[in-house]
Amino acid sequence: MPGKPRLRRGVRLTFDKVRDTHVLLFPEGVLVPNATAAAVLELCDGASDVDQIAARLGTRFRGVRAEDVTDVLARFEDRRVVEWT
């Protein structure tokens, strides 16, 4: 997965106050990512690569590895909500 991840056009990560959690809205539906996945998705701005995202997460969480970030992003890429620039 070369490049920098970002949410696909029409996809939006938002906080749902009713559910008290982040939700990922996209034309085909809604996903409710866990807290770890939401933290990764918040940093998918198309400007940061996986190593930069992992480093930023490392300031908030212990033991963050770029491989783990890549795994999370691969699952969202399979769901067609993340793309690479």
pLDDT in tens, 47-85: 999 999 999 999 999 999 999 999 999 999 999 999 999
Confidence tier at 7 by pLDDT (50, 70, 90): very high
The answer to whether residue 75 sits within a structural domain is yes
Distance from C-alpha of 28 to C-alpha of 43, rounded to nearest angstrom? 22
Q: Which amino acid is at 81?
A: V
Range of the domain at 75: 5-80
The answer to whether residue 43 sits within a structural domain is yes
CATH number for the domain that contains residue 39: 3.90.930
The answer to whether residue 30 sits within a structural domain is yes
pLDDT in tens, 10-59: 999 999 999 999 999 999 899 999 999 999 999 999 999 999 999 999 99
Residue 2 has pLDDT above 90, yes or no: no
Closest CA to 84 of 38, 53, 39: 53
Sign of the dihedral defined by the CA atoms of residues 43, 45, 46, 48, in that order: negative
User: What is the tally of structural domains in the chain?
Assistant: 1
Helices then strands, each counted (H, E), the chain: 3, 5
User: pTM for this one?
Assistant: 0.93
